[in-house]
Amino acid sequence: MLKKILYISICILLAACMSPRKMVVRGMYDAAIYKAVKKIKKHPSREKHIQAVTDAFRLANQANNDRIKFLRQEGRPDTWDEILVNYSALKMRQDVVKTLPTNVLNRIGYSFIDYDKEIISSKQKAADYNYAHAVELLKTNNKADARNAYDELMQIKKYYNSYKDVDALIQKSINIGTSYILFKLENKSLIQLPPKFEDELLKISLSEFNDVWHNYDTRTVSGRNYDYTIWVKIKLVTFTPESVKENSYTETKDVENGWQYALDKNGNVMKDSLGNDIKIKKYKTITCTVKETVMKKSASLIGTIDFIENNTNQLIKTNPLTADAIFDYAYATAYGDKDALKEETKKKLRQPVPFPSTPELLLMAVETMKSASKSIVSNYRSLFY
């Protein structure tokens, strides 16, 4: 896409810098016509621009008419789309040129041609072919054919807002052509997971991956045949024991504690330049002892995320999956003057909490597992047809 945008940008830039005559030489007939017509309207007597329009108009029309003639002689029913495109190009080009002054039109040999009848006819024949082809494709009940039928039907929608039962057939093509993917959990470890674990995991949001041909479910929809299953398989659950570590330390701080007069060597109060007594601040050191307690406990869930093609029960991709839940809590108790403590130490002065139970710890791992699973699914969406 980036390359295409860059290519178009370069073409626009080149067209902006090129004269209509150079555009004609390079076969950029319509661009030459647009630019020359604009210039002629400002300067009607510019011969070089009139000549550029004359040549470009003749050559472009000849190319379209030659292509139409060939396609008609070939007689294939699937070429009416292209015939329509060529007639539409002739009409649009004529609409641009006919805005020129009459005297200029006379000079370039302009003669109005009514293309509407041919456009209407070729549009109808193109739609008829698209419709008939789509109907035949849908009879196979094949996903690839259904998606091709969808393209044919959407082409008709470009021509006609309402055409036979196209809307119903579009929905039918989507129903047949869509791949349905189910996200599921399987616990293959020896540890029983909390009842809420699966419910929480299946709250994973995969709907953002849905598109016209792919639908992701985390709950089985009755009557729906799933083409693929994404299995989250937990194979091993490990725990670290509850750990409590204590540490004591003291922090100090110097704070103001009144003042005293500054004395000279003779014991007299010293004066500043304005004759005022000089005062010196006095300080004292305050201390506080801190008892810090660090509590730790963790759990790890290890497994895989497997992508299964259901029709053949084939494993098409497997990827390792891990999720950790870590309880790491620190609290502290202070003994002494708390004003001596650093700000970060003061934040630790809080109440102790109990260790989470094993089920609670496992539930803490769900969010990590959801995030990891979603990232893996996103990376391998191309596996699904």
DSSP 240-293: EEEEEEEEEEEEEEEEEEEEEE-B-TTSPBPB-TTSPBPEEEEEEEEEEEEEEE
DSSP at 380: T
Taking only the tens place, the pLDDT of each residue in 21-41 is: 999 999 999 999 999 999 999
Q: Which two tokens stand for residue 226?
A: 């799933």
Residue 137, C-beta contacts closer than 8 angstroms, at least 6 positions apart: 145, 146, 148, 149, 152
Q: Are 55 and 33 in contact (CB under 8 A)?
A: no
**N-term to C-term CA, the chain:** 22
Provide the pLDDT for residue 45: 79
What strands lie across the sheet with 214-217, from one edge to the other? 214-217, 179-187, 228-261, 279-309, 314-336
The β-bridge partners of 306 are 231, 318
Instruction: Give Cβ neighbours of residue 286 (< 8 Å, ≥ 6 apart).
Output: 252, 253, 254, 255, 336, 337, 339, 340
- Comparing CA positions, the residue from 13, 37, 38, 33 lying closest to residue 23 is 33
Assess whether pLDDT exceeds 50 at residue 7.
no
* pLDDT for the residue 8: 42
Contact 310, 334 (CB under 8 A): no
Query: Phi and psi at residue 228, in whole multiples of 5°?
Result: -135, 155
Enter the tokens of residue 223.
């009557």
Q: Reduced to 3 states, what is the DSSP secondary structure of residue 110?
A: coil
Q: What does the pLDDT average to over 192-206?
A: 94
Taken in order 380, 381, 382, 383, is the CA torsion positive or negative?
positive
Per-residue model confidence (pLDDT) at position 85: 96
Using the Cα atoms of residue 127, residue 128, residue 129 and residue 132 in order, give the sign of their dihedral: positive
Q: Which two tokens stand for residue 205?
A: 């949001």
Hey, where are the domains in the chain?
Answer: 13-174, 228-383
pTM for the whole thing?
Answer: 0.74
What pLDDT does 18 receive?
Answer: 87
Contact 308, 314 (CB under 8 A): yes
Residues in Cβ contact with 333 at an 8 Å cutoff, skipping those fewer than 6 apart: 290, 291, 349
pLDDT of residue 10: 46
Residues 287-312 have pLDDT tens digits of 999 999 999 999 999 999 999 999 99
Mean pLDDT of the chain: 92
pLDDT at 14: 55
Span 143-150, average pLDDT: 98
- Where residue 33 falls (left for φ over 0; alpha for ψ -120 to 50; beta otherwise) is alpha
Q: Are 128 and 120 in contact (CB under 8 A)?
A: no
Q: What does the pLDDT average to over 112-121?
A: 96
pLDDT of residue 11 exceeding 80, the answer is: no
- Cα 369 to Cα 120: distance, rounded to the nearest angstrom: 58
Residue type, 180: Y
Write down the pLDDT at residue 340: 94
Structure tokens at 253: 């701080």
Angstrom distance (rounded) from CA 254 to CA 283:
6
Does an H or E element contain 52, and which? helix 47-74
- pLDDT per position as a tens digit, 319-355: 999 999 999 999 999 999 999 999 999 999 999 999 9
Q: Can you tell me the distance from the alpha carbon of 385 to that of 372, in angstroms, rounded to the nearest whole number?
A: 23
Convert the pLDDT of each residue in 59-111 to its tens digit: 999 999 999 999 999 999 999 999 999 999 999 999 999 999 999 999 888 89
Q: Residues 194, 241: contact at Cβ < 8 Å?
A: no
Do 327 and 296 contact (CB within 8 A), yes or no? yes
Contact (CB, 8 A) for 311 and 227: yes
Is the pLDDT reported for residue 9 higher than 50?
no
Share of the chain above pLDDT 70, in %: 96
Amino acid at 120: I
Predicted pLDDT of residue 322: 96
pLDDT at 272 over 90: no
The residue-averaged pLDDT of 147-158 equals 97
